Amino acid sequence: MTSEEERLYLAELCLEAARWRVDRDDPCCALELEVRDRLRRLSGIETTDAEGTIHGDPVVNPVLTDEDYRALEAARLNEHLASPKKVDEVRKAWEQRRVRCSENGKLVWRDRELCHQEPMFPGNPLSKKFKWVYDGPRDSE
């Protein structure tokens, strides 16, 4: 943007900001309102009505009624009641990727890709039992 284009842009911005009517109690200045209006228009939110009147920001913090508080509490309770299911799903997904191996007499969880299966009773051909054996480096005691 050249300096001439920038001057034209700033002049247009100031002229549009002068159109705003600011209440005495409103902490926003006209320039800030114009910039917010332009940002909303860039996001696709219409800021003028059929007569061309410019509307300011919607209420950011509406006053909550008793019904609103009850609805929020009900939503929190539902989320709390659903949380054990989420915990179980996460735990099961974690366990599906890992297996239990015995190392130095202790059972430890290892990644399934780092382990292999060995028959628990290699001398008995009818036995279908197996154990997981860790292939990677051992933890030092």
pTM: 0.37
CA 76, 60, 73 angle in degrees (round to 5)? 15
At 20 the pLDDT is 66
At 130 the pLDDT is 92
Mean pLDDT for back-to-back runs of 10 residues, the chain (141 residues): 74 72 67 71 67 53 76 84 80 93 87 92 92 79 50
At 108 the pLDDT is 93
At 59 the pLDDT is 42
At 116 the pLDDT is 92
What are the tokens at 26? 């409103």
Alpha-carbon gap, residue 34 to 14, rounded angstroms:
9
DSSP 9-63: HHHHHHHHHTT----SS----HHHHHHHHHHHHHTT---B-TT-PBP-PPPSSPP
Please provide the distance, in angstroms rounded to a whole number, between the alpha carbons at the two ends of the chain: 67
